Amino acid sequence: MVSAGLRISCIALMLGHAALARGSEIPQSERRSGYDMMGRDTKAMQDDDTANPATLWVLEGETIWNTKAADGKSCADCHGDAGTSMKGVAARYPAFDATRDRAIDLEQRINICRSERQNATPLPFESRQLLALAAFVARQSRGMPIEQNDPRMQPVIASGRALFEGRQGQLNLSCAQCHDDNWGKQLAGSVIPQAHPTGYPIYRLEWQNLGSLQRRLRNCLYGLRAETYPLGAPEAVALEAFLMWRARGMPMDAPGVRP
């Protein structure tokens, strides 16, 4: 739920960016997730756990969760049953990490846990194991509302908004021009979604693989012929944080299937 204070600060932010923002922000009541906008067959594939290919990663993630790392500690040894301890966690990421004094996303949190608590080597971004753990953790938040209300995240969200609204790349387009101003219309054969990250990591049929939100963002940047952020870059985390803030209150449906 959005507090009145946040709403006011959000209006103030909008006014502050009036010169930058071309169109208008999507009203809360008109927000639709990628799930809402996809076809019946793809929805059916996501809804049935035995047909949703992301389940393969969730099950692998569950195995890793319970497997002891090199120093003899598993995720479960500290966090116990993920069904309780990880419920709603993915809905709150990216989050502010006080010791590092910066925002980190879920994959980075998993890797920090691995290197600091398990004395294990961090998993490479987009590796099968990291995606499996992220999918397993995200699965525990299914149906939970997305939250992004830590005041320390506000500067990160603001810089994410600037990236979202700023034009970039050879095509000189901003994210907002597609996802705020022209959602619901066609881009070639595909419907332009509103870009709410409710289902990450997603099994994207085009990829025939599971992928993170950062991978998806790189896809969009590539489409703009802009320079892609390296995986784990602060810009990517800021964009993630802004998108989660923009989707605040919407229910998680991870791990999703997307066309």
Query: What phi and psi, each to the nearest 5 degrees, are found at residue 257?
Result: -110, 130
User: What is the nearest approach in angstroms of other proteins to the Cβ of residue 118?
Assistant: 21
CB atoms within 10 A of CB 112: 15
Burial group, residue 168, by CB count within 10 angstroms (0-12, 13-18, 19+): middle
Q: What is the DSSP letter of 226?
A: P
Q: How far is the CB of 116 from other proteins (least distance, A)?
A: 27
Identify which of residues 52 and 194 has a Cβ nearer to other proteins in the complex: 52
The dihedral through the CA atoms of 122, 127, 132, 138 has a sign that is: positive
Name which of 6 and 231 has its Cβ closer to other proteins. Answer: 231
Residues lying near other proteins in the complex (CB under 8 A) are found at 48, 50-51, 53, 55-57, 59-60, 63, 205, 208-209
Comparison of 110 and 132: residue with beta carbon closer to other proteins: 132
CB of 53 to other proteins, least distance (A): 5
Residue number, 60 or 180, with CB nearest to other proteins: 60
Backbone angles phi, psi at 98, to 5 degrees: -65, -40
3-class DSSP state of 64: helix
45 vs 226 by CB, closer to other proteins? 45
Tell me how crowded residue 117 is: count the other CB atoms within 10 A of its CB.
15
CB of 172 to other proteins, least distance (A): 28
CB of 247 to other proteins, least distance (A): 27
